Amino acid sequence: MSEKRDITLHINGEDFFVSVEPRRTLVDVIRDDCGQTGTHIGCEHGVCGACTVLVDGEPMRSCLMFAVQADGRRIRTIEGLAKGETLHPMQEAFMKHHALQCGFCTPGFLMLAIGALEKNPDVSDDEIVDILSSNLCRCTGYENIVKAVKAAAAVMKAQA
Amino acid sequence: MKPASFSYHAPRSVSEAVALLAEYAPQDGRVLAGGQSLVPTMAFRMARPAHLIDINGIAELAALTVEGEMLKIGACVRHAAFDSDTVPGATGTLLRKVVHNIAHYPIRTRGTFCGSVANADPASEWCCVMAALDGVAVLQSQRGERRVAAADFYQGVMTTALEEDELLVRCELPVLADDARSGFVEFSRRKGDFAIAMALVVYRLEAGKIVEPRVAVGGAETHARRIPDAEAVLAGAAPNAANFAKAARAAAADCDPMEDINNTADYRRELVCTMVERALERAV
Protein backbone atom coordinates (compact mmCIF):
# COMPACT_ATOMS: atom_id res chain seq x y z
CA MET A 1 0.00 0.00 0.00
CA SER A 2 2.29 2.72 1.22
CA GLU A 3 5.82 1.51 0.67
CA LYS A 4 8.45 3.85 2.06
CA ARG A 5 10.45 6.04 -0.26
CA ASP A 6 14.01 7.29 0.13
CA ILE A 7 14.16 11.04 -0.27
CA THR A 8 16.61 13.87 0.34
CA LEU A 9 15.45 17.08 1.97
CA HIS A 10 17.80 20.09 1.75
CA ILE A 11 16.93 22.00 4.92
CA ASN A 12 18.83 25.22 5.61
CA GLY A 13 21.75 24.00 3.52
CA GLU A 14 22.00 20.59 5.18
CA ASP A 15 21.02 17.31 3.47
CA PHE A 16 18.75 14.92 5.32
CA PHE A 17 18.43 11.42 3.87
CA VAL A 18 15.18 9.94 5.12
CA SER A 19 12.85 7.06 4.30
CA VAL A 20 9.19 8.04 4.54
CA GLU A 21 5.70 6.79 3.80
CA PRO A 22 4.02 8.92 1.08
CA ARG A 23 1.23 9.88 3.47
CA ARG A 24 3.63 11.75 5.79
CA THR A 25 3.32 15.53 5.48
CA LEU A 26 6.41 17.68 4.95
CA VAL A 27 6.05 19.30 8.38
CA ASP A 28 5.93 15.94 10.16
CA VAL A 29 9.08 14.77 8.41
CA ILE A 30 10.90 18.06 9.02
CA ARG A 31 10.14 17.72 12.74
CA ASP A 32 10.13 13.99 13.46
CA ASP A 33 12.63 12.58 10.96
CA CYS A 34 14.97 15.56 10.53
CA GLY A 35 14.72 16.78 14.12
CA GLN A 36 14.09 20.39 13.11
CA THR A 37 11.36 21.17 15.61
CA GLY A 38 11.38 24.95 15.17
CA THR A 39 8.57 24.64 12.62
CA HIS A 40 5.29 24.17 14.46
CA ILE A 41 2.20 22.14 13.64
CA GLY A 42 -1.07 23.87 14.38
CA CYS A 43 -4.27 22.95 12.61
CA GLU A 44 -2.89 20.37 10.14
CA HIS A 45 -5.31 21.49 7.45
CA GLY A 46 -3.86 24.66 6.01
CA VAL A 47 -5.75 27.27 7.99
CA CYS A 48 -3.42 28.54 10.72
CA GLY A 49 -0.10 28.93 8.91
CA ALA A 50 2.06 27.91 11.89
CA CYS A 51 3.87 25.37 9.66
CA THR A 52 4.77 27.87 6.91
CA VAL A 53 8.24 27.19 5.48
CA LEU A 54 10.01 28.31 2.32
CA VAL A 55 10.18 25.72 -0.46
CA ASP A 56 12.48 26.93 -3.23
CA GLY A 57 11.96 30.43 -1.83
CA GLU A 58 8.15 30.35 -1.78
CA PRO A 59 6.18 30.42 1.48
CA MET A 60 4.08 27.26 1.63
CA ARG A 61 1.97 25.38 4.14
CA SER A 62 4.14 22.36 4.98
CA CYS A 63 1.08 20.49 6.30
CA LEU A 64 -0.47 20.62 2.81
CA MET A 65 2.52 19.10 1.06
CA PHE A 66 3.71 15.54 1.30
CA ALA A 67 7.38 15.08 2.13
CA VAL A 68 7.87 12.94 -1.00
CA GLN A 69 6.89 16.02 -3.02
CA ALA A 70 9.76 17.99 -1.48
CA ASP A 71 12.41 15.45 -2.52
CA GLY A 72 15.47 17.39 -3.68
CA ARG A 73 13.97 20.80 -3.05
CA ARG A 74 15.52 23.59 -1.01
CA ILE A 75 13.68 24.18 2.24
CA ARG A 76 14.24 27.01 4.70
CA THR A 77 12.92 26.97 8.25
CA ILE A 78 13.29 29.20 11.28
CA GLU A 79 16.47 27.33 12.29
CA GLY A 80 18.20 28.80 9.25
CA LEU A 81 17.45 32.47 9.96
CA ALA A 82 20.09 33.48 12.51
CA LYS A 83 23.73 33.62 11.44
CA GLY A 84 25.56 32.43 14.53
CA GLU A 85 24.71 34.88 17.29
CA THR A 86 23.24 37.43 14.87
CA LEU A 87 19.49 37.26 14.50
CA HIS A 88 17.75 37.91 11.18
CA PRO A 89 16.36 41.49 10.95
CA MET A 90 12.86 40.02 11.04
CA GLN A 91 13.61 38.22 14.32
CA GLU A 92 15.09 41.44 15.77
CA ALA A 93 12.02 43.40 14.71
CA PHE A 94 9.63 40.85 16.23
CA MET A 95 11.46 41.19 19.57
CA LYS A 96 11.69 44.98 19.43
CA HIS A 97 8.01 45.49 18.54
CA HIS A 98 6.62 42.80 20.86
CA ALA A 99 5.24 40.88 17.89
CA LEU A 100 4.99 37.66 19.85
CA GLN A 101 3.73 36.52 23.18
CA CYS A 102 3.45 32.72 23.47
CA GLY A 103 5.51 32.30 20.29
CA PHE A 104 3.67 29.30 18.85
CA CYS A 105 2.73 31.02 15.58
CA THR A 106 6.02 32.95 15.31
CA PRO A 107 8.04 30.53 13.11
CA GLY A 108 5.26 30.57 10.53
CA PHE A 109 4.93 34.36 10.58
CA LEU A 110 8.69 34.82 10.23
CA MET A 111 8.98 32.50 7.23
CA LEU A 112 5.87 33.97 5.60
CA ALA A 113 7.08 37.55 5.96
CA ILE A 114 10.68 36.82 4.95
CA GLY A 115 9.60 34.80 1.91
CA ALA A 116 7.23 37.52 0.74
CA LEU A 117 9.73 40.36 1.31
CA GLU A 118 12.63 38.56 -0.37
CA LYS A 119 10.41 38.19 -3.41
CA ASN A 120 9.09 41.74 -3.36
CA PRO A 121 11.10 44.17 -1.18
CA ASP A 122 8.88 47.11 -2.22
CA VAL A 123 5.73 45.68 -0.73
CA SER A 124 3.16 48.30 0.33
CA ASP A 125 1.58 48.57 3.79
CA ASP A 126 -1.70 47.24 2.42
CA GLU A 127 0.08 44.29 0.84
CA ILE A 128 1.80 43.52 4.16
CA VAL A 129 -1.60 43.31 5.86
CA ASP A 130 -2.89 41.10 3.02
CA ILE A 131 0.12 38.77 3.31
CA LEU A 132 -0.10 38.55 7.11
CA SER A 133 -3.83 37.74 6.95
CA SER A 134 -2.66 34.25 5.92
CA ASN A 135 -1.59 33.24 9.41
CA LEU A 136 -3.32 33.13 12.78
CA CYS A 137 -2.02 34.56 16.06
CA ARG A 138 -4.13 34.29 19.21
CA CYS A 139 -1.98 36.56 21.42
CA THR A 140 -0.90 39.79 19.78
CA GLY A 141 -3.95 41.11 17.96
CA TYR A 142 -1.67 41.40 14.87
CA GLU A 143 -0.92 45.14 15.23
CA ASN A 144 2.58 44.54 16.55
CA ILE A 145 3.26 41.88 13.94
CA VAL A 146 2.36 44.38 11.21
CA LYS A 147 4.63 46.98 12.84
CA ALA A 148 7.51 44.51 13.09
CA VAL A 149 7.23 43.40 9.47
CA LYS A 150 7.12 47.02 8.25
CA ALA A 151 10.23 47.80 10.31
CA ALA A 152 12.05 44.68 9.12
CA ALA A 153 11.12 45.45 5.52
CA ALA A 154 13.01 48.74 5.76
CA VAL A 155 16.06 47.06 7.33
CA MET A 156 16.10 44.21 4.81
CA LYS A 157 15.88 46.69 1.95
CA ALA A 158 18.75 48.77 3.35
CA GLN A 159 20.91 45.65 3.75
CA ALA A 160 20.12 44.25 0.30
CA MET B 1 -5.35 14.41 11.84
CA LYS B 2 -2.97 12.73 9.44
CA PRO B 3 -3.90 11.52 5.95
CA ALA B 4 -4.52 7.79 5.53
CA SER B 5 -2.10 5.62 3.57
CA PHE B 6 -2.01 5.78 -0.20
CA SER B 7 0.23 4.65 -3.02
CA TYR B 8 2.14 7.50 -4.60
CA HIS B 9 2.74 7.85 -8.33
CA ALA B 10 4.81 10.63 -9.85
CA PRO B 11 4.51 10.54 -13.64
CA ARG B 12 6.89 12.66 -15.75
CA SER B 13 4.63 13.07 -18.79
CA VAL B 14 0.94 13.51 -19.59
CA SER B 15 0.84 10.17 -21.42
CA GLU B 16 2.27 8.45 -18.34
CA ALA B 17 -0.22 10.29 -16.12
CA VAL B 18 -3.30 9.30 -18.14
CA ALA B 19 -2.07 5.70 -18.29
CA LEU B 20 -1.83 5.70 -14.47
CA LEU B 21 -5.27 7.31 -14.24
CA ALA B 22 -6.79 4.68 -16.52
CA GLU B 23 -5.31 1.98 -14.28
CA TYR B 24 -5.91 3.47 -10.83
CA ALA B 25 -8.95 5.78 -11.13
CA PRO B 26 -11.30 2.74 -10.84
CA GLN B 27 -9.41 1.86 -7.63
CA ASP B 28 -10.11 5.25 -6.06
CA GLY B 29 -7.10 6.97 -7.60
CA ARG B 30 -7.01 10.77 -7.59
CA VAL B 31 -4.97 13.47 -9.26
CA LEU B 32 -2.81 15.58 -6.93
CA ALA B 33 -1.90 19.05 -8.20
CA GLY B 34 -1.53 21.91 -5.69
CA GLY B 35 -3.25 19.88 -3.00
CA GLN B 36 -4.69 22.92 -1.23
CA SER B 37 -8.20 21.41 -1.24
CA LEU B 38 -7.47 17.68 -1.49
CA VAL B 39 -4.86 17.42 1.28
CA PRO B 40 -7.01 19.12 3.98
CA THR B 41 -9.87 16.77 3.02
CA MET B 42 -7.45 13.86 3.41
CA ALA B 43 -6.28 15.20 6.78
CA PHE B 44 -9.91 15.14 7.93
CA ARG B 45 -10.17 11.59 6.46
CA MET B 46 -13.14 12.78 4.45
CA ALA B 47 -11.11 11.64 1.43
CA ARG B 48 -9.06 8.44 1.59
CA PRO B 49 -7.82 7.89 -1.95
CA ALA B 50 -5.95 4.61 -2.42
CA HIS B 51 -3.69 6.12 -5.07
CA LEU B 52 -2.46 9.66 -5.68
CA ILE B 53 -1.13 10.60 -9.09
CA ASP B 54 1.06 13.63 -8.51
CA ILE B 55 1.26 15.73 -11.69
CA ASN B 56 3.63 18.38 -10.27
CA GLY B 57 6.65 16.79 -11.95
CA ILE B 58 5.22 17.06 -15.47
CA ALA B 59 7.11 19.98 -17.02
CA GLU B 60 4.73 20.44 -19.96
CA LEU B 61 1.84 21.21 -17.56
CA ALA B 62 3.62 24.23 -16.06
CA ALA B 63 3.19 26.35 -19.21
CA LEU B 64 1.25 29.62 -19.22
CA THR B 65 1.20 30.91 -22.79
CA VAL B 66 -0.71 33.13 -25.15
CA GLU B 67 -1.26 31.46 -28.50
CA GLY B 68 -3.19 33.52 -31.00
CA GLU B 69 -6.44 34.60 -29.34
CA MET B 70 -6.18 32.10 -26.50
CA LEU B 71 -4.53 32.17 -23.08
CA LYS B 72 -3.50 28.58 -22.30
CA ILE B 73 -3.17 27.72 -18.62
CA GLY B 74 -1.43 24.40 -17.92
CA ALA B 75 -2.61 22.16 -15.09
CA CYS B 76 0.31 23.08 -12.81
CA VAL B 77 0.16 26.88 -13.19
CA ARG B 78 -0.17 28.29 -9.65
CA HIS B 79 -2.59 31.03 -8.63
CA ALA B 80 0.39 33.31 -7.89
CA ALA B 81 1.36 33.27 -11.59
CA PHE B 82 -1.51 35.67 -12.24
CA ASP B 83 -0.24 38.14 -9.65
CA SER B 84 2.33 39.46 -12.15
CA ASP B 85 2.43 40.97 -15.61
CA THR B 86 2.94 37.55 -17.23
CA VAL B 87 -0.48 37.70 -18.85
CA PRO B 88 -0.73 40.80 -21.08
CA GLY B 89 -3.61 43.11 -21.89
CA ALA B 90 -7.12 43.30 -20.53
CA THR B 91 -7.20 39.58 -19.69
CA GLY B 92 -4.12 40.01 -17.49
CA THR B 93 -5.71 43.02 -15.79
CA LEU B 94 -8.86 40.99 -15.06
CA LEU B 95 -6.93 38.00 -13.68
CA ARG B 96 -4.81 40.27 -11.44
CA LYS B 97 -8.02 41.75 -9.98
CA VAL B 98 -9.37 38.29 -9.23
CA VAL B 99 -6.28 36.54 -7.87
CA HIS B 100 -5.99 38.60 -4.67
CA ASN B 101 -9.37 37.27 -3.57
CA ILE B 102 -8.22 33.65 -3.66
CA ALA B 103 -7.51 32.28 -0.18
CA HIS B 104 -4.15 33.51 1.17
CA TYR B 105 -0.61 34.19 -0.04
CA PRO B 106 0.96 30.77 0.79
CA ILE B 107 -2.06 28.99 -0.68
CA ARG B 108 -1.66 30.97 -3.91
CA THR B 109 2.00 29.90 -4.23
CA ARG B 110 0.95 26.24 -4.35
CA GLY B 111 -2.70 25.94 -5.46
CA THR B 112 -3.42 25.82 -9.19
CA PHE B 113 -5.89 27.45 -11.56
CA CYS B 114 -6.89 24.11 -13.12
CA GLY B 115 -7.14 22.40 -9.74
CA SER B 116 -9.65 25.02 -8.64
CA VAL B 117 -11.61 24.53 -11.87
CA ALA B 118 -11.59 20.72 -11.55
CA ASN B 119 -12.57 20.87 -7.87
CA ALA B 120 -15.52 23.11 -8.87
CA ASP B 121 -16.27 24.57 -5.47
CA PRO B 122 -19.26 26.93 -5.89
CA ALA B 123 -17.11 29.73 -4.40
CA SER B 124 -14.13 29.20 -6.73
CA GLU B 125 -13.08 32.50 -8.29
CA TRP B 126 -11.47 30.80 -11.29
CA CYS B 127 -14.71 28.90 -11.97
CA CYS B 128 -16.43 32.29 -12.15
CA VAL B 129 -13.76 33.53 -14.58
CA MET B 130 -14.17 30.42 -16.75
CA ALA B 131 -17.95 30.93 -16.81
CA ALA B 132 -17.76 34.67 -17.53
CA LEU B 133 -15.28 34.36 -20.41
CA ASP B 134 -16.66 31.07 -21.80
CA GLY B 135 -13.37 29.33 -21.10
CA VAL B 136 -12.64 25.84 -22.36
CA ALA B 137 -11.50 22.86 -20.26
CA VAL B 138 -9.20 20.52 -22.18
CA LEU B 139 -9.54 16.95 -20.91
CA GLN B 140 -7.05 14.23 -21.78
CA SER B 141 -7.35 10.50 -21.37
CA GLN B 142 -6.04 7.41 -23.12
CA ARG B 143 -9.24 7.60 -25.15
CA GLY B 144 -8.22 10.97 -26.57
CA GLU B 145 -8.75 14.69 -25.97
CA ARG B 146 -12.04 16.49 -25.31
CA ARG B 147 -12.67 20.22 -25.26
CA VAL B 148 -15.56 21.18 -22.99
CA ALA B 149 -16.98 24.70 -22.73
CA ALA B 150 -17.37 26.09 -19.20
CA ALA B 151 -21.17 26.18 -19.50
CA ASP B 152 -21.15 22.39 -20.08
CA PHE B 153 -18.28 21.60 -17.71
CA TYR B 154 -19.98 22.56 -14.45
CA GLN B 155 -22.86 20.31 -13.47
CA GLY B 156 -23.41 21.11 -9.80
CA VAL B 157 -21.63 21.49 -6.48
CA MET B 158 -18.13 20.09 -7.03
CA THR B 159 -19.46 18.11 -9.98
CA THR B 160 -18.05 18.44 -13.48
CA ALA B 161 -17.98 16.76 -16.87
CA LEU B 162 -14.60 15.16 -16.03
CA GLU B 163 -14.67 11.39 -16.39
CA GLU B 164 -12.66 9.47 -13.81
CA ASP B 165 -9.89 8.56 -16.27
CA GLU B 166 -9.57 12.12 -17.60
CA LEU B 167 -6.97 14.69 -16.64
CA LEU B 168 -7.73 18.41 -16.95
CA VAL B 169 -4.51 19.25 -18.79
CA ARG B 170 -5.24 22.92 -19.34
CA CYS B 171 -7.84 25.65 -19.36
CA GLU B 172 -8.13 28.14 -22.19
CA LEU B 173 -9.45 31.68 -21.90
CA PRO B 174 -10.08 34.07 -24.78
CA VAL B 175 -7.76 37.08 -24.94
CA LEU B 176 -9.97 40.11 -24.31
CA ALA B 177 -9.88 43.18 -26.53
CA ASP B 178 -7.53 45.88 -25.23
CA ASP B 179 -10.44 48.22 -24.46
CA ALA B 180 -12.40 45.61 -22.50
CA ARG B 181 -13.34 46.78 -19.01
CA SER B 182 -13.63 44.31 -16.15
CA GLY B 183 -14.81 44.40 -12.56
CA PHE B 184 -14.72 41.71 -9.89
CA VAL B 185 -16.18 41.84 -6.39
CA GLU B 186 -16.83 39.14 -3.83
CA PHE B 187 -18.17 39.11 -0.30
CA SER B 188 -16.92 36.88 2.49
CA ARG B 189 -17.12 37.35 6.24
CA ARG B 190 -13.35 37.38 6.68
CA LYS B 191 -10.51 37.99 4.24
CA GLY B 192 -9.65 34.77 2.42
CA ASP B 193 -12.80 32.89 3.40
CA PHE B 194 -15.01 31.17 0.84
CA ALA B 195 -17.15 33.86 -0.76
CA ILE B 196 -20.89 33.89 -0.13
CA ALA B 197 -21.41 35.64 -3.46
CA MET B 198 -19.23 37.10 -6.20
CA ALA B 199 -19.72 38.86 -9.51
CA LEU B 200 -17.48 39.31 -12.51
CA VAL B 201 -18.44 41.70 -15.30
CA VAL B 202 -16.74 42.48 -18.60
CA TYR B 203 -17.86 44.89 -21.27
CA ARG B 204 -16.67 47.31 -23.96
CA LEU B 205 -17.91 50.72 -24.93
CA GLU B 206 -18.76 51.79 -28.47
CA ALA B 207 -20.04 55.34 -29.01
CA GLY B 208 -20.80 55.57 -25.30
CA LYS B 209 -22.91 52.39 -25.22
CA ILE B 210 -22.14 49.03 -23.63
CA VAL B 211 -21.33 46.23 -26.09
CA GLU B 212 -20.51 42.55 -25.53
CA PRO B 213 -21.54 42.60 -21.85
CA ARG B 214 -20.68 39.57 -19.74
CA VAL B 215 -22.11 39.17 -16.26
CA ALA B 216 -21.21 36.06 -14.25
CA VAL B 217 -22.20 35.21 -10.70
CA GLY B 218 -20.40 32.71 -8.45
CA GLY B 219 -20.68 31.54 -4.87
CA ALA B 220 -24.45 31.92 -4.76
CA GLU B 221 -25.66 28.99 -6.85
CA THR B 222 -24.34 25.43 -7.19
CA HIS B 223 -21.90 26.64 -9.81
CA ALA B 224 -20.86 29.90 -11.45
CA ARG B 225 -22.66 30.92 -14.65
CA ARG B 226 -23.39 33.87 -16.91
CA ILE B 227 -26.70 35.64 -16.30
CA PRO B 228 -28.30 36.43 -19.69
CA ASP B 229 -31.08 38.62 -18.18
CA ALA B 230 -28.53 41.00 -16.69
CA GLU B 231 -26.49 41.09 -19.90
CA ALA B 232 -29.63 41.91 -21.89
CA VAL B 233 -30.23 44.97 -19.70
CA LEU B 234 -26.70 46.22 -20.35
CA ALA B 235 -26.41 45.57 -24.08
CA GLY B 236 -26.69 48.89 -25.90
CA ALA B 237 -27.27 50.80 -22.67
CA ALA B 238 -25.28 53.73 -21.29
CA PRO B 239 -22.84 52.84 -18.48
CA ASN B 240 -24.61 54.75 -15.73
CA ALA B 241 -25.75 54.04 -12.19
CA ALA B 242 -29.40 53.52 -13.15
CA ASN B 243 -28.56 50.84 -15.73
CA PHE B 244 -26.06 49.17 -13.41
CA ALA B 245 -28.73 48.94 -10.69
CA LYS B 246 -31.26 47.58 -13.17
CA ALA B 247 -28.83 44.89 -14.39
CA ALA B 248 -27.98 43.98 -10.78
CA ARG B 249 -31.66 43.52 -9.94
CA ALA B 250 -32.11 41.37 -13.06
CA ALA B 251 -29.20 39.16 -11.98
CA ALA B 252 -30.61 38.78 -8.47
CA ALA B 253 -34.08 37.96 -9.81
CA ASP B 254 -32.65 35.23 -12.06
CA CYS B 255 -30.58 33.61 -9.30
CA ASP B 256 -31.62 30.47 -7.44
CA PRO B 257 -29.28 30.79 -4.43
CA MET B 258 -28.16 27.98 -2.14
CA GLU B 259 -29.02 28.16 1.55
CA ASP B 260 -26.84 27.25 4.48
CA ILE B 261 -26.87 27.75 8.23
CA ASN B 262 -25.55 31.32 7.96
CA ASN B 263 -27.07 32.48 4.68
CA THR B 264 -30.67 32.34 3.56
CA ALA B 265 -31.54 32.38 -0.13
CA ASP B 266 -32.97 35.90 0.25
CA TYR B 267 -29.78 37.16 1.85
CA ARG B 268 -27.65 35.65 -0.91
CA ARG B 269 -29.94 37.14 -3.56
CA GLU B 270 -29.50 40.60 -2.03
CA LEU B 271 -25.75 40.03 -2.00
CA VAL B 272 -25.79 39.04 -5.68
CA CYS B 273 -27.54 42.32 -6.45
CA THR B 274 -24.94 44.30 -4.51
CA MET B 275 -21.98 42.37 -5.97
CA VAL B 276 -23.12 42.83 -9.59
CA GLU B 277 -23.78 46.53 -9.03
CA ARG B 278 -20.36 47.09 -7.42
CA ALA B 279 -18.56 45.04 -10.08
CA LEU B 280 -20.17 47.21 -12.76
CA GLU B 281 -19.30 50.42 -10.90
CA ARG B 282 -15.69 49.33 -10.53
CA ALA B 283 -15.23 48.04 -14.07
CA VAL B 284 -12.51 50.09 -15.74
Range of the domain at B90: 62-174
Which among B129, B144, B174 is the end of a domain?
A: B174
Residue B2 domain-assigned (yes or no) = no
Other residues' Cβ atoms within 10 Å of the Cβ of residue B59: 10
CB contact under 8 A, A61 and B107: yes
Taking chain A (160 residues) in runs of 10, the rounded mean pLDDT of each run is 89 98 98 98 97 98 98 98 97 98 98 97 95 96 97 94
Partner B contacted by A76 (CB < 8 A): no
Q: Compare CB distances from B106 to A1, A24, A112 and report the shortest one's residue.
A: A112
Q: What is the pLDDT along chain B (284 residues), one digit of tens a residue?
A: 899 999 999 999 999 999 999 999 999 999 999 999 999 999 999 999 999 999 999 999 999 999 999 999 999 999 999 998 889 899 999 999 999 999 999 999 999 999 999 999 999 999 999 999 999 999 999 999 999 999 999 999 999 999 999 999 999 999 999 999 999 999 999 888 999 999 999 999 999 999 999 999 999 999 999 999 999 999 999 999 999 999 999 999 999 999 999 999 999 999 999 999 999 999 98
**pLDDT tens, position by position, B112-121:** 999 999 999 9
- In a domain, residue B1? The reply is no
User: Using an 8 Å Cβ cutoff, are B79 and B102 in contact?
Assistant: yes
Domain membership of residue B18 (yes or no) is yes
Q: How many CB atoms within 10 Å of residue B152?
A: 11
Query: How many angstroms separate the CA atoms of A27 and A34, rounded?
Result: 10
CATH number of the domain residue B135 falls in: 3.30.465.10
Q: Which CATH number fits domain A89-159: 1.10.1530.10, 1.10.150.120, 1.10.3720.10, 3.30.450.20?
A: 1.10.150.120
Least Cα separation, residue B192 to chain A (angstroms) = 8
Architecture per CATH, domain A5-80, reads as Roll (3.10)
Q: Provide the pLDDT for residue B178.
A: 95
Q: What is the pLDDT of residues A91-105, one digit of tens each?
A: 999 999 999 999 999
One domain for residues B222 and B264: yes
Secondary structure (3-state) at B186: strand
- In this structure, are residues B155 and B172 in contact, taking their beta carbons and an 8 Å threshold? no
Nearest CA in chain A to B84: A120
Q: For residue range A58-75, list pLDDT tens digits in order.
A: 999 999 999 999 999 999
Total structural domains within chain B:
3
